[in-house]
Amino acid sequence: MLKLIKNMIGSKAQDTTPSHRYERIQVVTCALLLEMAHTDEEFHEAEATLIEDLLQNRFDLPPAAVAELIDLAHGERQASLDLYHFARDINEHFTIEEKVELIEALWRIVYADGMLDKYEEYLMRQLTKLLRLSHRQMIDAKLKILAEVPAGR
């Protein structure tokens, strides 16, 4: 499965099969999660574990596939100049509800270390706009996740 993703990234031709689009969405979703985790320049073990869990649950992947997906998305994230093309792929294939779920996942990453960094907040606002979501949807997602965060974090 992930071999197809690697071939797609190396290929100039755009494959539009449903499985290819689904795998592309896995890569861009993972890249956005990684971007948020690295925004404060401190990548915590809790964030890494959370990203693995989120990907496993969202895409129903075994641990080995998740590790390969993270490696692949990390490389694509580093090669990227901006987040627009990641957001474009999400906008093309996600419903509003799925985009809100992604924003919730991003808030989980933000609060995995118990703190909201100013750069994380800025990135969240930028991604909300790129994903064509409202400020209200972003705040509702934030409040939902804050209600789940254990006291003292």
CATH of residue 64's domain is: 1.10.3680.10
Please determine, for residue 104, whether its predicted confidence score (pLDDT) is greater than 60: yes
What tokens does 30 get? Answer: 């993972």
Please determine, for residue 16, whether its predicted confidence score (pLDDT) is greater than 60: no
**Whole-angstrom Cα distance, residue 153 to residue 150?**
6
Residue 99 lies in a domain: yes
> Which residue range forms the structural domain that includes residue 29?
19-147
More confident residue, 79 or 7: 79
Instruction: Count how many domains the chain has.
Output: 1
Please name the amino acid found at residue 61. L
Residue 89's pLDDT band, with cuts at 50, 70 and 90, is very high
Q: Can you give the pLDDT at residue 119?
A: 93
Look up the pTM and report it: 0.81
Please determine, for residue 6, whether its predicted confidence score (pLDDT) is greater than 90: no
What tokens does 42 get? Answer: 């401190």
Residue 47 lies in a domain: yes
Percent of the chain that is helix, strand, coil (3-state, to 5): 75, 0, 25
Residue 2 lies in a domain: no
Q: Can you give the pLDDT at residue 103?
A: 96
